[in-house]
Amino acid sequence: MAIRRTIHILALLASSLLASDGSMAVLDLDARGVSAVEAASLTDRLRSELVKTGLVTIVERSAMEQILREQDFQLAGCTSDECAVEVGQLLGVTQMLAGSIGKVGSTYSIDLRLVDVATGEIIQSVTHDYRGVIDDLLGQMTALAHQLVGIEHEGLPDLTAADPAPTQLAQPTVSAAGRSPLVKWLLLTAVAAGGGYLGFTLLADDGGGPAPEVGTPPALPQEP
């Protein structure tokens, strides 16, 4: 009993210190279309990236769970802003970060909300859509963390744009003017022999004009 009371006192002291410094606690992202394990892993990475900024004091997951356990509070199903405020009051922090990660088709959507515990107002909101494998979202948590604390960042890659249409290659055309005299005479022979329309069409130029002048037939090659 004494140990339990001591832990409770330490938890309250930790809460008061956090509140005086201006701190933040991060709730696990609500999983919609992804597994709870994947959502928790992305939350852990986001929490770590927020710590790296050095601009906010983040409550560790284990410490948050310990404090809430001492308060007999269950985090399961706590996804609303009202619940986030209640958790923030129990933890003694000034800001709570809540949000969700969902999947629609092949696109993942992350929605983050930074809530002021004192007023219950959303003071920052960040959304990001990503098309690809979920593993790559781990590398994008840095940019999301920077946006939340107001650090300028190069920005998140826009990976949801449709693939560009393939380039259509122009079909090569050969005009009758570019054919050798021998080829022209062979085509005329095809016309005379009954090849008719096909030979005449091949002989005509590509602009639809009259067939070019053929001239004197060339000498055929002599056998040695």
Cα–Cα distance, 63 to 49 (Å, whole number): 18
Higher pLDDT, residue 194 or 41: 41
Q: What is the pTM of this model?
A: 0.60
The CA distance from 99 to 115, in Å, is 10
For residue 141, give every residue at least 6 positions away whose Cβ sits within 8 Å of its Cβ, in sequence order, or none.
42, 45, 46, 48, 49
Q: Look at residue 210 and tell me whether its pLDDT is greater than 70.
A: no
- Which pLDDT does position 218 carry in this prediction? 55
| Average of per-residue pLDDT values in the chain | 74
The rounded distance, in Å, linking the Cα atoms of 177 and 213 is: 9
Give the pLDDT band (50/70/90) at residue 157.
low
* Whether 58 contacts 96, CB under 8 Å: no
Cα dihedral 97→140→57→87 (10° resolution): 20
Structure tokens at 7: 């832990």
Per-residue pLDDT at 180 exceeds 90: no
When comparing pLDDT for 55 and 203, which is higher? Answer: 55
For the chain, give every domain's residue range: 2-149, 175-219
Decide yes or no: CATH 3.30.470.30 for domain 2-149: no
Spatial contact of 217 and 223, defined as CB atoms under 8 Å apart: no
pLDDT at 219: 61
Tell me the percentage of the chain whose pLDDT exceeds 90: 52
Query: Within its chain, how far is the Cα of 112 from the centroid?
Result: 15
Secondary structure (DSSP) of 48-110:
HHHHHHSSSEEPPHHHHHHHHHHTT---TT--SHHHHHHHHHHHT-SEEEEEEEEEETTEEEE
Neighbours of 121 (CB within 10 A): 11
Per residue in 46-93, pLDDT (tens digit) is: 999 999 999 999 999 999 999 999 989 988 888 899 999 999 999 999
CA distance 58 to 97: 10
Does the structure show a pLDDT above 90 at 204?
Answer: no
User: Binning pLDDT at 50, 70 and 90, where does residue 131 land?
Assistant: very high
Residue 173: predicted pLDDT: 45
Rounded percentage of the chain residues whose pLDDT exceeds 70: 58
* β-pair type (23-26, 122-131): unpaired
Predicted local distance difference test score (pLDDT) of residue 7: 40
Residue 216 is predicted with a pLDDT of 59
Could you read off the pLDDT of 23-51 as tens digits, one per residue? Answer: 899 999 999 999 999 999 999 999 999 99
Of the candidates 142, 155, 218, 208, the residue with the CA atom closest to the CA atom of residue 184: 218
Distance CA 10, CA 220 (A): 108
